[in-house]
Amino acid sequence: MSFWELYGNKLLVAVGVHFLYVFASVASGFVVALTLGILLSRVPGIAKVALPLISVFQTIPGVVFIGILFLYMGMVPATAIIALAIYAVFPILKNTYAGLLSVDSSLLEAARGCGMSKIQSLFEVELPLAMPSIIGGLRMSTVYTVSWAVLASMIGLGGLGEFIYIGIATNNNALIVAGAIPAGIMAISLSLAIDFVKRRITRQGREVSLK
Amino acid sequence: MIRFEQVTKKYGDSVILDNLSFEIKEGEFAVLIGPSGCGKTTTLKSINRLIEPDTGHIYVNGKDISQTDPVQLRRQTGYVIQQIGLFPNMTVAQNIGVVPKRLKYPKEKILDITRSLMDMVGMSYEEYGHKYPSELSGGQQQRIGVLRALAASPPLVLMDEPFGALDPMTRNSLQDEISRLHKKLNKTFVFVTHDMDEALKLADKIIFMENGKIVQMATPEEMLENPASDLIRTFMGKRAEGSPASALTAADFMRPDPVSVYKSRGIRECTEIMARRQIDSLLIKNDDDTYAGVVTVGGIKKASKSTGTIGEVPVSENAVSYVSESAMESFDKLLNTNSSYVVVLHEDDTIAGIVTKTSMAKAMADALWGDGQ
């Protein structure tokens, strides 16, 4: 029996599960990060303390964190999604914050001078101008999360990691490759897709002035 | 229209506005001027509440503005800044429509306003409306910056050194345009600058400030005739003392012996001369040495001839002055035409020299800092 006949279906399911983990965790991480980033950009004083603290948290190995969360929440998909989402937050948060702060102060003054309220200035001027930076963070998070999602199988939650772990445990190189290659393809194609979106919303003419 | 009553603003120990009281009448073009740190920008920004004074009251149209909603106040007050501040994520048309959109004007009305405003500064909606600010030159951007301030037809427009970052040529033409717009639209303009020439050119009333106080508030003529302090006299430079600058003639600033050729020279020879001297036009002389005109590289290309004499190529229009004309007049010609220089002629129509932008810059430097010893 060929490899495909033996593992084909399982592999397709694993790719699907893996993708769902990535999608759910990056999406929820994005919402959290965007909100936090906007709030922190309003109070740079607090952000100067909060961002380094969050980045220290980021250095805790994913294996440790997913393990701890497993002890409290058990073997449910939410465990993996929450753990991955927390890791996805930081790159987006950092880029959102930096992108919002890099908006030229003369534009903020112009927005105020034109009678924009703070909310209007945020949504019509600051966020659109910070968007390239925010999406850059999103892409970074997505690529990381594709590789971190391999850890989900460590607590028996499937995904492409399952192939890799079983491959290592049984000394079966074909299984390792069968897990690694789709993960690589997924990371690259998601990254390209996000780049495409970025180009679409970063309209012509704007890039020049952002440098 | 605008009334300041005992307005004071401090940052820490330094007093920025010192018990300031004055009035600007409706329809006036008021220019705030003074050395850096004199409080002119703070004065301007307190009119639309970008800066709040510590004590005192400011009235706009009889209403104490501290009692109004700042967002509403700013929508009824045009505002132009030196950094231009067009939103790079919006097209030119969207930038102009920013305030009308806030005021919930219907879409067609915003479009009508945008078109007619753009026509007023000679930038057609069809050509520029959908461009992004980064695709425009600095002068065009600030034209749009001014239009954005005018779009909701506010009775009052505030301008904070709007032309300070532009090159002298562009600044000059924008000054003319703003002056024209002021006469046409009958609005109150408050304009901050540190350039006395700009103030004298534009203002109905100049408000000269120093250390948070008004030193003198007068029409340009009054201020020229009777400056209230030595500082103001310094600001006016030579203009105040019988302006010897106007006694200088074109001959004092021209570059003598420009490259000129007789009509009978061959075209190929002439292009050769241009290439060697790295110039893009030549002065053409008749056989009796009188000036015949200017031939440019473009003109030669258009004539699409490579043989024959240069006299067969049609000459292009160029500004001309005589040696005895005042320097100021020849500078005006230089600024108001598309020529890159003015040809200066002797009384008998022979070529004496040319006045270029470099000669002009030198003349301005001399007028500002003395005669370049």
Q: Whole-structure pTM over 0.80, yes or no? A: no
Residues of A in contact with B102 (CB under 8 A): 114-116, 120
Residue range of the domain that includes B264: 250-369
What is the band of B270 on the pLDDT scale with cuts at 50, 70, 90? confident
Torsion of CA A65, A70, A75, A77, to 10 degrees: -40
Same domain flag for B232 and B259 = no
> What's the rounded Cα separation, in Å, for the pair B90 and B107?
16
**Contacts (Cβ under 8 Å, ≥6 apart) of A33:** A88, A89, A90, A92, A93, A96, A137, A141
Helix (H) or strand (E) holding B233: helix B230-236
Domain boundary among B245, B269, B298: B245
Q: In chain A, which residues touch B (CB < 8 A)?
A: 104, 106-107, 109-117, 120, 124-125, 128-129, 203-206, 208-210
| CATH number of the structural domain spanning residue B168 | 3.40.50.300
**Contacts (Cβ under 8 Å, ≥6 apart) of B237:** B196, B367, B368
> What's the rounded Cα separation, in Å, for the pair B23 and B288?
64
Contact B88 A206 (CB under 8 A): yes
> What's the rounded Cα separation, in Å, for the pair A114 and B87?
11
> What's the rounded Cα separation, in Å, for the pair B19 and B214?
10
**Contacts (Cβ under 8 Å, ≥6 apart) of B158:** A113, B44, B45, B47, B48, B77, B78, B79, B80, B149, B190
Question: Are B100 and B117 in contact, with CB atoms under 8 Å apart?
Answer: no
Same domain flag for B227 and B153 = yes
Q: Which of A106, A206, A209 shows the shortest C-beta gap to B81?
A: A106
Question: Are B197 and B86 in contact, with CB atoms under 8 Å apart?
Answer: no
pLDDT of amino acid B278: 81
How high does pLDDT run on average in chain A? 86
Which two structure tokens, joined as six digits, stand for B260? 């000129």
Give the C-alpha distances (Å, rounded to integers) separating A137 from A38, A97, A140, B88: 14, 10, 5, 21
Same domain flag for B333 and B204 = no
Asked if B102 is an interface residue toward chain A (Cβ–Cβ < 8 A), one would say: yes
pLDDT of amino acid A203: 60
pLDDT of amino acid B309: 84
Contact B132 A204 (CB under 8 A): yes
Q: What is the DSSP letter of A29?
A: H
What's the mean pLDDT in B187-193?
95
| CATH number of the structural domain spanning residue B355 | 3.10.580.10
- Using the predicted structure, report yes or no on whether residue B246 has a pLDDT greater than 90: no
Nearest CA in chain A to B75: A115
According to CATH, what is the number of the domain A3-210? 1.10.3720.10
Same domain flag for B256 and B110 = no
ipTM (interface pTM)? 0.79
Contact A208 B71 (CB under 8 A): no
Closest alpha carbon to B160 in B145, B147, B150: B145
For the stretch B271-311, pLDDT in tens is 888 888 888 888 888 888 888 888 888 888 887 777 788 88
Question: Are B355 and B330 in contact, with CB atoms under 8 Å apart?
Answer: yes
Domain boundaries of chain A, sorted by first residue: 3-210
Which two structure tokens, joined as six digits, stand for B336? 């108001």
Give phi and psi for B326, each to the nearest 5.
-70, 150
Structural domain tally of chain B? 2
Tell me how many residue pairs between chain A and chain B have CB atoms under 8 A apart.
75
**Contacts (Cβ under 8 Å, ≥6 apart) of B306:** B267, B268
What's the mean pLDDT in B100-115?
94
Q: What is the DSSP string of B98-154?
A: HHHHHTT--HHHHHHHHHHHHHHTT--HHHHTTS-GGGS-HHHHHHHHHHHHHTT--
What's the mean pLDDT in B133-139?
91
Domain boundary among B226, B245, B264: B245
What is the band of A205 on the pLDDT scale with cuts at 50, 70, 90? very low
Question: Are B273 and B247 in contact, with CB atoms under 8 Å apart?
Answer: no
Domain boundary among B245, B271, B302: B245
Helix (H) or strand (E) holding B78: strand B77-81
Contact B99 A104 (CB under 8 A): no
What's the mean pLDDT in B72-98?
93
